[in-house]
Structure 1
Amino acid sequence: MTSQTATAERSPAPAHPGARSWLLLAVCEAKMVIRDTAGLIVPFGLPVLILVMSASSASETVITGGRTALDIHVIPLVFTMVVGLIGVVNTPSFLSAYRRTGVLRRLGTTPASPAMVLVAQVAVGVVQAVLGMAVAFGAAVLFFGAKPPIDTGAALGALALGIAVMFALGMVVAAVAPTPNSALAMGLVAYLGLGALGGMFGGKESLPDGVARVGEWLPFGAAVDVLSSAWAGEGVPGPQMAVLAATAAASAVIAAVFFRWE
Structure 2
Amino acid sequence: MSTAIKAGRPGPRAWLVMIGCEAKMVARDTAGLIVPIGLPLLILVMSASSASDQIVANGRTALELYVLPLVLTIVIATTGIINMPSFLAYYRRSGILRRLAVTPASPVMVLMAQVVVSVIQTVIGITAALAVASLAFDAGPPTHLATALGVFVLVMAAMYGVGLIVAAVAPTPNSAVAIGLVAFFALGALGGLFGGRDALPDALVTVGEWLPFGASVEALGAAWAGAPTEPAHLVSLGATTVVGGAVAGILFRWE
Work out whether the TM-score is over 0.5: yes
Which residue identity is paired with 1:135?
A: A
Q: Distance in 2 between matches of 1:185 and 1:256?
A: 21
Q: Distance in 2 between matches of 1:31 and 1:10?
A: 34
What is the Cα deviation at residue 217 of structure 1? 0.7
**What pairs with 1:143-222 in structure 2 (closer than 5 Å)?**
143-222=136-215
**1:4: which partner in 2?**
none
**2:72: which partner in 1?**
79
Q: Distance in 1 between matches of 2:138 and 2:4?
A: 61
TM-score (norm 2): 0.97
Which residue identity is paired with 2:59?
A: G
Which residue identity is paired with 2:4?
A: P
C-alpha contact 1:154 1:235 (8 A) present in aligned 2: no
Q: Which runs of 5+ in 1 are unaligned?
A: 1-8
What is the Cα deviation at residue 11 of structure 1? 9.2
2:134 pairs with 1:130 = no
Which of the residues 16, 25, 40 maps onto 1:23? 16
Q: Distance in 2 between matches of 1:217 and 1:163?
A: 16
Structure 2 residue matching 1:63: 3-state secondary structure: strand
How much is the aligned-residue C-alpha RMSD, in angstroms?
Answer: 1.4
**2:4: which partner in 1?**
12
11 and 88 in structure 1: CA distance in 2 versus 1, 3 angstrom threshold = closer
Which has the larger Rg?
1
What is the Cα deviation at residue 66 of structure 1? 2.2
**What pairs with 1:93-132 in structure 2 (closer than 5 Å)?**
93-132=86-125
> What percentage of residue pairs aligned between the two structures are identical?
55
Q: Distance in 1 between matches of 2:89 and 2:130?
A: 31
TM-score (norm 1): 0.94
CA deviation vs aligned residue, 1:124-144 (integer Å, no higher than 9, x gap) = 001100110110110111111
Q: Distance in 2 between matches of 1:206 and 1:56?
A: 24
**1:33: which partner in 2?**
26
Q: Distance in 2 between matches of 1:183 and 1:260?
A: 14
**1:3: which partner in 2?**
none
Structure 2 residue matching 1:170: 3-state secondary structure: helix
**What pairs with 1:52-91 in structure 2 (closer than 5 Å)?**
52-91=45-84
Q: Which runs of 5+ in 2 are unaligned?
A: none
Name which of structure 1's ranges 42-51 and 9-18 shifts more when overlaid on structure 2: 9-18
Q: Distance in 2 between matches of 1:206 and 1:83?
A: 25
80 and 11 in structure 1: CA distance in 2 versus 1, 3 angstrom threshold = closer
Q: Distance in 2 between matches of 1:260 and 1:48?
A: 36
C-alpha contact 1:151 1:235 (8 A) present in aligned 2: no
Which residue identity is paired with 2:201?
A: P
**1:48: which partner in 2?**
41
Name which of structure 1's ranges 70-79 and 210-219 shifts more when overlaid on structure 2: 210-219
